[in-house]
Every structure is written in C-alpha cells, then in structure tokens.
Amino acid sequence: MPLQHPKSSEKKIVVIIGGGFAGFNAAKSLANKKEVHVILIDRRNHHLFQPLLYQVATAGLNPSDIAVPIRARFAKAENVEIHMGAVEKINLSEKFISTDHGDLAYDYLIVATGAQHSYFANPEWEEYAPGLKTLEQATEIRRRILSAFEEAENEIDPVKQKSLLNFVVVGAGPTGVELAGAIADIARTVLVKDFNHINPASARVLLVEAGPKILASFNEKLSQRAYRDLQELGVEIRLSSRVEKIDENGVTVAGEFIPSRSVFWAAGVQASRMSFTPEVAKDRAGRVIVRKDFSIENHPDTFVIGDMAHFELSQNNLLPGLAPAAIQAGKFVANVVLQSINGQVRSSFKYLDKGQMATIGKRKAIAQYNSLRMTGVIAWLAWLFVHVLYLIGFKNRISVMAEWTWSYIFSKRGARLITSRDWKLQK
Amino acid sequence: MPLQHPKSSEKKIVVIIGGGFAGFNAAKSLANKKEVHVILIDRRNHHLFQPLLYQVATAGLNPSDIAVPIRARFAKAENVEIHMGAVEKINLSEKFISTDHGDLAYDYLIVATGAQHSYFANPEWEEYAPGLKTLEQATEIRRRILSAFEEAENEIDPVKQKSLLNFVVVGAGPTGVELAGAIADIARTVLVKDFNHINPASARVLLVEAGPKILASFNEKLSQRAYRDLQELGVEIRLSSRVEKIDENGVTVAGEFIPSRSVFWAAGVQASRMSFTPEVAKDRAGRVIVRKDFSIENHPDTFVIGDMAHFELSQNNLLPGLAPAAIQAGKFVANVVLQSINGQVRSSFKYLDKGQMATIGKRKAIAQYNSLRMTGVIAWLAWLFVHVLYLIGFKNRISVMAEWTWSYIFSKRGARLITSRDWKLQK
C-alpha cells in the first residue's frame, strides 16, 4: 500500500534515492522551491566526499573531515525531508518505491544510488582485498595498513616479517594510484623513525593493473609522467598483469604469487543493484540507459543520474563517472523536474568538462583541463585548491586545511588509529 | 623460553604493560635515561585521553582528537620500544611475561593495565548497554544515539517512536553525568531543527543511580548543584534505583520497565584481569595491593600503578582512580626504578590532590580543589582550560579548540557520523 506523505498533498512529491554527489545536488537545487516536496533517502546519514577517501584510508584525514550529516545540510529547507533507509524496489508503472520501512509514492523520482566495487566472478576476494567506497572501508584499510607495520615489528621470522610489509593495490585508476602513492609516502616519511625492529621505508608497494597503462583516462604523456613519479616514490608497477587469485596469504598476479596481508581493491566498478518493475534497459556494467534528459524510456518522470546512469554524450562517448559530472546532472535534473511541473519545455543537458586530476604521493599530481596539462608541484597545488574548495561545509574546509598544513610541515598523520571491528570488552 | 632483548644487553630492561595515563607517563619519565631500555606494551596503538571519551560518544570530537599513536610519541627516544600486543601472564618468580607473540624477560616491571566496566554478575547486559572505556565503544554509542533519532523519524507507531527516544544512562559518576548531559544537550540544541516527524527536544534522558546521590565523590553542595543543573537540562534522575534487567527492549529499574534501545553503562568498574605467578593479594575490585612505593610485597622490582593498583594513602583512604593520580604514580615509579638501579634509597610517594571536575551539558560544570569550589560557567571555563591543557600533542590541542569553538558558536557537532560495524559491501 503506497504511503502518501500527508504534509505535501498540495505539492508534487520528488523522491531522490541516494545522497552522493548527484542526489545531494539535485536535492540542494530543489530546496525551498515551492512546487515540490522532496524526500531524500539514503542508507547512510552522511554525504561523503569520495575523492578524498584514500586520505582517510592512509590516516591523513578524519572520517568526519570528508563527511557531512545530510540532515544538517537541509535543516533550513522546510520542503526537504531526509529518510535514512534502504530502497528495495522501484515500481515504475504505479509510481511508488518500497523501502525497508514502508512504501512511498512519488510524482517524480530521481535514482542516484551510485556504483560499487565489482570483484567480477570472485566475491570471496572482498574479505582479503577491501575496496574504497565507504568510510567503513576506509577505516578498515587504515586498520590493515597500520596493523601490518605493528605485526611486522613483532615478527621474529624474517620471511614472514618481509611479507607483512608487502602492500598490493589492484587497479591503477585514480583511486589505486592515490592509495599506492599515499602508502609509499606514509612508509617512507611518517612511520620511518617509529620502529625498532623494522625499517618502514623497506615496505614494498605494488600497483597491479590489468591494462597496458596507469591512469588510462588521462592523456598519454600525463600517464607516463605519473608512472615515473610513482616509481620515484618507490611504487613497483605491474602493467598488463591480471589478478588470478586472492586469499589470506596473498595475491597471485600473472602467475606470480606475492605474499601479502594487505591487498586493496581499486579495480572494477559496477552500478549498484536496483530492482525495477517493469525492468529497464541496462548496459553491461549494470548502468541504466537514459535519454537526453536523464529520464528512463517511457517513464519521463523517472530519472537516473550519477554513476548509476549510462548517458551518451555522443556515439561511444559516455558521460564520465566523475564528481563534476554527477553534480551537473543533479542540478540539471532538478531543473527539468521544475520545468515539467510548470509546463515548460525540458532543456537538454550540456556537459561542462572540468577535466580530471590525480595526486601522486605528497607533493606531485597530474591534471588535465581541455588542452591544458599540469604535472608535478603545480598540479598538486591545483589539486589542493580544487579539493579544499569543493569540500562541503565551512568547518570541514578549515579543519582539512589545518590537518594538511600540519601533516605537510611535520610529516605526521593525525588519524593514526587502529580501531578494531568489535567494540566489546576484550578480556 | 624468555626472549631477552639483544639491543639492551648492557642496560636494565624495564617492561611497562599498558599505555594509559600511568604507563605512558612512566615511559615518558624513563625516555632517554641511559640506565634503562624500556619496552612499553599495549593492546592498542594509541594513548587515549579517556576523560573526553563522552565527547566522542556524543559526536563532539573525532576519535583522533583524543588519541595519539604511542609509537609516534617515542620516536625520538632511542631507549623506548613499543610493542603492540596482549600480555597473558606475569611470572614474578622468574621475572618474565608471556605475550601473544612470545615471552619477554624483565629487570623491572610496571603493570598499568587499568580498569574496565563490570556488569557484576550480568555479562549479557553488555550487548544492550555498552560502556565507555575505548574508542570503539565511544563510536558504538555515537552510532546508537544518532541511529535512534533516525529510526524514530521513520517509525509510524507512536508508542515505538516514543520509546526510541528514551535514553538511559546507568551510573551517576562523572562519566554518567557527562554523558547524560551531552545527550540532553545534543537533542535540544544540535538536532532540534533537523527532523520532520519527531521533535528531538522531546527525547527523554534518564540517569539511573543505585546510590543516594549523584557524583558521590564530590562535596555534598556541589553534588546538589549538579543535580539541579542536570534537571534544568531536562535529565530525569532516579536515585537509589538499582538496575534489575537489561535486554533488547529496555531496562528494568527498581521494578519499573523503561522501553529503550539506547542504554549506556557507566556503573561498576573492576581492575583488568591479569594472571600472576605466584598469585598476588588483591582487593574485592580486583586491584593489586601495593606497598608505599607501588611495588608488590616480596617483589620489589614489580610495580602496579593506575586503576589496577590498591594504594592506601592512609587507613581506609585509597589513592583515587583519577588521571592526575595515575600520572603522578607513573612518574614516581619511573624515578624509583632509577633510584633502585643507582643504589639510592627509594623515595616515598606524596600525592598532590589536583581536585576533580565534571561538566554538565554545554556550559556548566562543578569543580573542587581542596577547599575551593566552583560551579556554573566559571567551573566550565576552568574545566575547558584544564582539559585542553592536558590533551597531549600540539596538534590535538588546536584541533580540539577549533572543534569546540565551532560547535559552541554554531550549536553543531562535527562528528555526526553513523558508521556501521561492518565494512563490507551492502547489497
């Protein structure tokens, strides 16, 4: 039985599923618009600045530095309601969704549930190779990295000790490159003086990539420069190397077994799962194929945006899975909803390419924006500027700047905590 | 087979178990002393500023604001080695300890493993009523508090909705009082505008105490003042009320059942368990009875300090389980070890009573120092000054001040994150 929201009987109900870049910005654009009552649903209570997750995973930033409570951001928007909950099904024909706390009818629906890691046909690898999409995963990776050094310090067997200091990152997209660079950096600068029985700088950091180059979405020259910068940091790169097996002892890459307790997964992304009635057209990565206004064929009031959407900019040229693209789509779709309510013609989406960037270790980066390319320290400063600027919330920006300034000057990390999964008394 | 440390063959080996206030300060006092090689063992990698744990539990501070990596603090002390590990047994006769990664011989041993919550004869209560001794417990309590509001917002049944907003704190010592005050404060100021279907200010916060008054260790007048301040904040106080049962539905107090999913335990402390060979004399709370120099009878080279020690200042007057007492004991014992090595007479301990304080909500506190008593805003400012001053590490102090200034001015909380126990993909 669809649950119609009583408050909003005179307004159109817009349900947004997902509080990531796409859904969060759609909601922001609809805040305080008199035509609509917005219900934003997310499984988590926070909006996450995903591009900096690797900093949490490597003890550079606190979880709360890159996350804001969604509810707090909409406290002043009377027409926006936040539900913390999970959506199980979308019924397009009857226009309602089923959540874990009841059904909800909508006039307009915006689906922005994002993407998650894919272990291809090997879901059992997850236990030994966590991905980096959530705060929980980031603190788990942090726990594993810091614990590996602690265990190596206590290990008497030199072979085991050495294997504890092998770190393997699978996938050389921006996340994999940034994670590998940060691990190399933490070992060689932050931890280097803290141990008695091991030399943290001797840690091996391997970056494994199935394709023929790293950062494949970047310009060829930038990719090569990043390759050299990473090597200089001490990261060993294995190109055209497919992972064949991961278990508690290590990882097998192109026939070679690498003993490691610290394998991290930054390869393979698939759209999050969602059940539609009737079923909708999806591409091979599970993304919903959408029209020029992000609506689903035959369902003009249902939109899919962000990493969940397959949107063709032109033939064989998809809208990329980047934060700026998701933000633009969110704002655009919010406007389309208002146009539709007001009987106006729907505008069509124009993507403004804001380029892309990736950091390599502490002081280098690569960045491209149209024909402009930057490398080294200049690119890193640009990266710093853009990321701090984008970080939502007055307080977070200052706190992140303070955190970074401090860790840059003193080569320290503020969030070097090993917290366990279990909170109960250890007797 | 005792594992003698090779590096320190010419120095006396001092093993310290526990990196809390007592053990951490003992190690600091022995750092860079040529007579000794120090091995500090802790199950965790961080030294924790326990008095502010309730701030983490109520989303006011980040875990890393009140914790420092032990290893980093001793990076420049060549004679101090940090082992992350658990100690299972102490063999006093043969002077070695057994850890989870082997045995370790010592010349001097300082045991400072602290205290933990006691659920008396009801260990099954822990699942439903976490205590507040570790960072993991603090983030678990934070998760429960914030999730209770989220679930109440989604709950249609008004009876269930109301019971979700019942918060029960058991035990009215400083931790219980500070936690109850902070929950009342967060409900009435921080969250108050963020929800659509509930009024967070209607949350009931109950403080349950088996004894006849709150903050029993304080002067009678201060205790009464704190009682009134708490009531003004909206905290319901039940004195002389014993908890009879806690389960998933709520808590039974003096015959009355209070439905609640958010019960927190701040009552009953016992010394941490440790196995000694031969057995040593302990008091009813499990504390080891020590002599005037904190050594164990017949074992002049083994010391017990901090919450683990039963130290008589005078007849029926024990050294209190407070941070300043633990710090003083740590420094004192370090000095006794040096005196003993150098053949000097051991000095005897003089306790400098630094008083005690407790905050009540956002802007009030009580404090006593000898005959000096403070209440209200003055006491709160004194509390703020002392706590920020004590917080170890340059960076933490600034970060905590910034965090607090921000949350005080804007009535916001920086760390309002609900993170789950499980880091794996939720499908």
> In whole angstroms, what is the distance from residue B369 CA to residue A187 CA?
46
Chain B residues touching residue A139 (CB < 8 angstroms): 419, 423
- The pair of structure tokens assigned to A316 is 């064989």
Residue A2 above 50 pLDDT? no
B425·A71 Cβ contact <8 A: no
Which pLDDT score is estimated for B9?
Answer: 61
Which pLDDT score is estimated for A426?
Answer: 41
Residue A427's pLDDT band, with cuts at 50, 70 and 90, is very low
Written as one letter, the residue type at B32 is N
The angle that helices A323-341 and A21-30 make with each other, rounded to 10 degrees, is 40
Which pLDDT score is estimated for A420?
Answer: 66
A137-to-A70, A150, B425 alpha-carbon distances in Å? 20, 20, 9
> In whole angstroms, what is the distance from residue B288 CA to residue B318 CA?
12
SS3 letters across chain B = CCCCCHHHCCCEEEEEECCCHHHHHHHHHHCCCCCEEEEEEECCCEEECHHHHHHHHCCCCCHHHHEEEHHHHCCCCCCEEEEECCEEEEECCCCEEEECCEEEECCEEEECCCEEECCCCCHHHHHHCCCCCCHHHHHHHHHHHHHHHHHHHHCCCHHHHHHHCEEEEECCCHHHHHHHHHHHHHHHHHCCCCCCCCCHHHCEEEEECCCCCCCCCCCHHHHHHHHHHHHHHCEEEECCCCEEEEECCEEEECCEEEECCEEEECCCEEECCCEEECCCCECCCCCEEECCCCEECCEEEEEECHHHEECEEECCEECCCCHHHHHHHHHHHHHHHHHHHCCCCCCCCCCCCCCEEEEECCCEEEEEECCEEEEHHHHHHHHHHHHHHHCCCHHHHHHHHHHHHHHHHHCCCCCCCCCCCCCCCCC
Chain A residues touching residue B133 (CB < 8 angstroms): 425
Residue pLDDT, tens place only, A132-144: 999 999 999 999 9
Nearest CB to A423: which of B62, B71, B136?
Answer: B136
Give the residue from A45, A55, A65, A128 with the most B CB atoms within 10 Å of its CB, the best one to mutate: A45
Mean pLDDT, each 10-residue run in order, chain B (427 residues): 53 97 97 97 92 91 86 92 94 96 95 92 93 92 94 94 97 96 92 91 97 95 96 96 96 96 93 94 95 96 97 93 95 98 95 94 90 92 84 64 70 69 56
Name the most confidently modeled range: A150-164, A386-400, A406-420.
A150-164
Which pLDDT score is estimated for A425?
Answer: 54
Q: Is the peptide bond before B278 cis (omega within 30 degrees of 0)?
A: yes
- The pair of structure tokens assigned to A16 is 């947004």
Using CA coordinates, name the residue in chain B closest to A148.
Answer: B84
> In whole angstroms, what is the distance from residue B320 CA to residue B411 CA?
35
> In whole angstroms, what is the distance from residue A238 CA to residue A254 CA?
9
Q: Which helix (H) or strand (E) holds A258?
A: strand A256-259
Using CA coordinates, name the residue in chain A closest to B273.
Answer: A427
Min distance B192 CA to chain A CA atoms (Å): 9
Instruction: Specify the residue for token string 């984008």.
Output: A390
Chain A residues touching residue B44 (CB < 8 angstroms): 418
Q: Report helix, strand or coil for A107.
A: coil
Percentage above 90 pLDDT, chain A: 77
Point out the residues of A that are catalytic: 178
Which pLDDT score is estimated for B342?
Answer: 96
Instruction: Specify the residue for token string 């053990």.
Output: B23
Q: What are the residues facing A265 on neighbouring strands?
A: A170
ipTM of this complex: 0.88
Which pLDDT score is estimated for B388?
Answer: 78
Written as one letter, the residue type at B345 is V
- The pair of structure tokens assigned to B301 is 């080279």
Handedness of CA A298, A302, A305, A308 (dihedral sign): negative
> In whole angstroms, what is the distance from residue A274 CA to residue A286 CA?
9
A45·B150 Cβ contact <8 A: yes
Nearest CB to B134: which of A86, A101, A423?
Answer: A423
Nearest CB to A117: which of B62, B101, B425?
Answer: B425
Residue A338's pLDDT band, with cuts at 50, 70 and 90, is very high
Residue B323 half-sphere exposure, CB side, CA atoms within 13 Å? 17
Which pLDDT score is estimated for B2?
Answer: 45
Mean pLDDT lowest among A179-188, A374-383, A401-410, B40-49: A401-410
Instruction: Specify the residue for token string 């109301």.
Output: B162
Using CA coordinates, name the residue in chain B closest to A416.
Answer: B69
- The pair of structure tokens assigned to B358 is 């407790």
Phi, psi of B339, rounded to the nearest 5 degrees:
-60, -45
B412·A63 Cβ contact <8 A: no
B417·A116 Cβ contact <8 A: no
B45·A150 Cβ contact <8 A: yes
More confident of the two residues B405 and A232: A232
**Cβ–Cβ under 8 Å, residues A257 and A108:** no
Which pLDDT score is estimated for A129?
Answer: 96
B46·A403 Cβ contact <8 A: no
Which pLDDT score is estimated for B425?
Answer: 54
Residue A1 above 60 pLDDT? no
Residue pLDDT, tens place only, A25-47: 999 999 999 999 999 999 999 99
Using CA coordinates, name the residue in chain B closest to A194.
Answer: B75
Strand duo A46-48 + A67-69: pairing? antiparallel
A414·B427 Cβ contact <8 A: no
B60-to-A326, B54, B366, B403, B409 alpha-carbon distances in Å? 31, 9, 20, 8, 13
Point out the residues of B that are catalytic: 178
* DSSP for residue A98: E
Nearest CB to A75: which of B136, B193, B395?
Answer: B193
Q: Which helix (H) or strand (E) holds A405?
A: helix A394-410
> In whole angstroms, what is the distance from residue B298 CA to residue B312 CA?
18
B135·A417 Cβ contact <8 A: yes
